[in-house]
Amino acid sequence: MDGFSWLTIVKYAVVLIAATIIGNWFLAEVKKTNRKQQPWYKPYLSLPGLIILAALSLPLIYLLIF
């Protein structure tokens, strides 16, 4: 394979698995919030929601700093 090693493929796989786990965890929080009829923003204040918000805001923070 040109430019790719097995280590690179394993790194990508680990990131995809972590994203899947956090996504499912967040979806479980959303379903739990809907069952309890709580406000729509409540899942974003949970741990998986904050992880997702931090990951989405990192490029913006990077652009503001550099």
Please give the residue range of the domain that contains residue 42: 6-65
pLDDT reported for residue 48: 97
In a domain, 1, yes or no: no
Specify the residue for token string 């805001």. Answer: 57
Please, what sign has the CA dihedral across residues 19, 41, 47, 29?
A: negative
In a domain, 47, yes or no: yes
Q: In the chain, how many domains are there?
A: 1
In a domain, 33, yes or no: yes
pLDDT in tens, 6-29: 999 999 999 999 999 999 999 999
In a domain, 30, yes or no: yes
pLDDT reported for residue 2: 62
In a domain, 60, yes or no: yes
In a domain, 61, yes or no: yes
Query: Letter for the amino acid at 61?
Result: I
Taking the model in full, what pTM does it have?
A: 0.82
